[in-house]
Amino acid sequence: MGKVITAVEEKENVSNLLDENINSKNETLSQLGKYEEGMPWNPVEQVILERRSIRAFKKEPLPNSMIRRILEAGRYAPSTGNTQPWKFIVVNSQEIIEEMEKDAVKVIKFFMFLLDYTRGNTLRRLYILSWVKWVIRLMKNELNPVPFALMTQIAQDRTPAFHGAPTLVLLVEDRRGAGNPSVDIGICGQNMVLAAHSMGAGSCWIGITKVLMYLPKWRKKFGIKYPYRLNDCIAFGWPSPRADGMVQREVQLVQWYEKGMNYDPRVERQGE
């Protein structure tokens, strides 16, 4: 008897959730497996378009079975020549994550002491500016304006590095993979992220985890040596507050080569 009631209750909860979702959009979703021009989003598209990186989590972690289910989506990701050049490390211990946070902040503070010319007095600024652009040129991805600004904020204790996430999944790349193993890692991670969001969990890519690899302590702890390299890290947890939703993005200029060898491509404004 008890079992029946719980099953009914669960069903009600689920339908309530669905109703909320549909009501908030004021329309039903399309079926999977068909396309008509201008049709409503289907559930997969909805998850993709509403996914936002979640950076505020509840303290309680996702159940272990759910993390396994998310990893399953990663296990089934496509990879070049089916090489599966990945290794997953699940960090579920609050103690370890706090230690990682402390060390990441330490490393970032050290780098920003050397590189951050946007703080401090004019003399410091001029001195650092005389050479820092060469460093930026060498590390153009790591010191792109956005991560640079993030690191200045972390160094000033204005934002945390791991966002107090209850679970981290480190994506470690096998460097012997076929073709371009970094891309395979990206596909695999996005599979997991979308799976997580479809189940109501939140996630965030935390690339800044890489600064921990400057410390032998963490390389040793996670066993990261050849052929492995830490590629990226995804935080998972229950979002608090729920922050998924569609947002505006820049109109994208897309080249369409349609006419033949002697013609220039047509540039289309995607999304307008």
Q: Which residues bind other proteins (CB under 8 A)?
A: 37-41, 49-50, 52-56, 117-118, 129, 133, 136-137, 140, 144-146, 148-150, 152-153, 157-160, 164, 241-255, 267, 269, 271-272
Question: How far is the CA of 269 from the CAs of 36, 250, 258, 260, 264, in angstroms?
Answer: 21, 10, 16, 21, 16
Quote the least distance from Cβ 167 to other proteins, whole Å.
17
Strand-strand pairing, 228-237 and 202-205? antiparallel
- Closest to other proteins by CB, 75 vs 119, is 119
Element (H, E) at 263: none
In the bound complex, what is the minimum distance in angstroms from residue 29's beta carbon to other proteins? 12
Q: What is the closest distance, in whole angstroms, from the C-beta atom of residue 75 to other proteins in the complex?
A: 29
Specify the residue, 108 or 224, whose C-beta has the smaller distance to other proteins. Answer: 108
Question: What is the end-to-end Cα distance of the chain in Å, rounded?
Answer: 55
In the complex with other proteins, which residue's Cβ is closer, 41 or 88?
41
Nearest approach, Cβ of residue 221 and other proteins (Å): 25
**Which 8-state DSSP code applies to residue 239?**
B
CB of 223 vs other proteins, minimal distance in Å: 30
For other proteins, the closer of residues 51 and 87 by Cβ is 51
Q: Which is nearer to other proteins, 38 or 63 (CB)?
A: 38
User: Residue 84's Cα: distance from chain center in Å?
Assistant: 19
**Closest to 232 (Cα-Cα) out of 172, 166, 161:** 172
Length of the chain: 272
Q: Tell me if residue 220 falls in helix, strand or coil.
A: helix
